[in-house]
Amino acid sequence: MKPTIALVGRPNVGKSTLFNRLTKSRDALVADQPGLTRDRHYGHGRVGDKPYLVVDTGGFEPVVDEGIMFEMAKQTLQAVDEADAIVFIVDGRTGLTPHDKIIANRLRQGSRPVWLAVNKAEGMNRAVVTSEFFELGLGEPVAISASHGEGVRTLLNEILERFPEPEPEEDPDHPKFVIVGRPNVGKSTLVNAVLGEERVIAFDAPGTTRDSIYIDFERNGGNYTIIDTAGVRRRGKVTDVIEKFSVVKTIQAIEDANVAVLVLDATQDVSDQDARVASFVLEAGRALVVAVNKWEAATQEQKDQIKRDIARKLAFLDFAKFHYISALQGKGVGDLFASIDQAYAAAMTKIPTPKLTRALQLALERQQPPLAGKIRPKMRYAHQGGTNPPVVVIHGNALEAVPAAYWRYLEHSFIKMFKLQGTPLRVQFKKSE
């Protein structure tokens, strides 16, 4: 599983600068989706064949008045507890501040490994700039410059060294899905509705994988695994002190699933938080089924409203099947499985090179890539570079010039030609030798 690295520190130390640097290479690969607001606080990165996830906790900072004691936001504390590694960033130019000490105290209480990065150290003597930060008691501080890129790679390598090389991905032979959505949309009700009538084969012990529970069950002769992020199924037994919604856990569970079921509440407008959770699924490239829940309780007006909202705010989910269900009454829950099966099959499809290349030629015949100046990008053949999501690697020349719109046209063409309902698909370009 990908390690999650959380960036922590008081405002202005350079968290978002470092975040951008750690996620840059990957961002350039993913074509922009219209209507998708990229969440700039979560991102993917990769060094060699080691992928990782970065969380910039700066997005969680509470608004505090000048002079009031800095308080770490609840989501920051959660990220600190749930991440695999923490980079605590301090400002080498400002020097050690009382806020830094408060954060350090909290970090020392946690169980996650912490790297102390002294930022803005370009042009400064490393030993001098780091010396005063030893007293934070978090080990040896590392001098970096997020904006100049100095020391960042070394720091990253040191962090990633602690995590095992990812195992070569084994193709799962059945859907492994997770139910996601903002609080109160009905996730735990749906999990219970799904499991209530099924034969549960095995309950994974909690705590084995990042506190999520993996439950295997059978339905109509098919095998499924549902990933239950803790606090969903078990919430009934826990006090409400437990935060209902954990972004880090949600993202990790999505990463580990092959299908996500996004739950919306039909009696409410589609909110930014809904769109955010949806964007996590898309960023991870996971297959998706959408369940618009509480359908039995929605007025006609609310039903019209949410359909308009979906068309407007969640247009980027047009590849997914939508279901209108009532988890409470168990209505429509069975039908979800047909779409989960379909989305899973689409995500795992393997298409031979000749077929893909023929599909590419068809798409090119229908619409040529536009000229870039005098040069027309030349696409020669395509092969599949991966599954979950399907990746189509197109070989050719002058491919830097392919605009995002054409990129999307190709993605849609492959989805349509191979009837891949329910999964996103990624097109990548590779220069021919």
For residues 121 and 144, is the Cβ–Cβ distance under 8 A? yes
For residues 42 and 54, is the Cβ–Cβ distance under 8 A? yes
* CA-based R_g, the chain, Å: 23
Nearest distance from C-beta of residue 12 to ligand GDP, angstroms: 4
State the CB neighbour count (10 A cutoff) for residue 293: 28
Q: Does 186 bind ligand GDP (CB under 6 A)?
A: yes
Using CB under 6 A, which residues numbered 75 to 134 contact ligand GDP?
Answer: 119-120, 122
Size of the site for ligand GDP (CB under 6 A): 33
Stretch that binds ligand GDP, among 70-78, 289-297, 301-309, 333-341 (CB under 6 A): 289-297
CA distance 343 to 349: 10
Nearest distance from C-beta of residue 165 to ligand GDP, angstroms: 30
Where do we find the tokens 């989805």? Answer: 415
CA distance 224 to 217: 5
Pick from 62, 139, 183, 370 the residue near ligand GDP by CB under 6 A: 183
Site mask for ligand GDP (CB under 6 A), range 352-391, x = bound: ----------------------------------------
Query: Do β-strands 287-293 and 321-324 pair in parallel, antiparallel, or remain unpaired?
Result: parallel
Using CB under 6 A, which residues numbered 293 to 322 contact ligand GDP?
Answer: 293-294, 296-297
Q: Does 333 bind ligand GDP (CB under 6 A)?
A: no
Any known ligand binding at 319?
no
Stretch that binds ligand GDP, among 45-53, 77-85, 184-192, 215-223 (CB under 6 A): 184-192
Contact residues for 367 (Cβ-Cβ < 8 A; gap 6+): 406, 409
Using CB under 6 A, which residues numbered 143 to 172 contact ligand GDP?
Answer: 145-148
Nearest distance from C-beta of residue 274 to ligand GDP, angstroms: 12
Nearest distance from C-beta of residue 122 to ligand GDP, angstroms: 6
Nearest distance from C-beta of residue 324 to ligand GDP, angstroms: 10
Query: Do β-strands 50-56 and 42-47 pair in parallel, antiparallel, or remain unpaired?
Result: antiparallel
Pick from 23, 33, 130, 189 the residue near ligand GDP by CB under 6 A: 189
Per-residue tokens: 306: 């949410």
Reference 425, options 433, 416, 417, 415; nearest CA is: 415
Q: Does 47 bind ligand GDP (CB under 6 A)?
A: no
In the chain, the amino acid numbered 380 is R
Q: Does 215 bind ligand GDP (CB under 6 A)?
A: no
Q: Does 291 bind ligand GDP (CB under 6 A)?
A: no
Which one, 184 or 209, has the nearer CB to ligand GDP?
184
Any known ligand binding at 207?
no
Pick from 86, 232, 277, 359 the residue near ligand GDP by CB under 6 A: 232
Per-residue tokens: 428: 């990548």
The edge-to-edge listing of strands for the beta sheet with 378-386 is: 378-386, 391-397, 426-431
CA distance 324 to 418: 26
DSSP 8-state code for residue 111? S
Q: Is the dihedral of CA 41, 42, 47, 48 positive or negative?
A: negative
Which one, 43 or 369, has the nearer CB to ligand GDP?
43
Pick from 45, 58, 332, 424 the residue near ligand GDP by CB under 6 A: 58
Nearest distance from C-beta of residue 193 to ligand GDP, angstroms: 8
Q: Does 428 bind ligand GDP (CB under 6 A)?
A: no
Any known ligand binding at 352?
no
In the chain, the amino acid numbered 313 is K
For 94, the 3-state DSSP assignment is: coil
DSSP 8-state code for residue 331? B
CA distance 181 to 263: 5
Binding residues for GTP, as ranges, are 9-16, 56-60, 119-122, 181-188, 228-232
Interface contacts to ligand GDP, rule CB under 6 A: 9, 11-17, 58, 119-120, 122, 145-148, 181, 183-189, 232, 244, 293-294, 296-297, 326-328
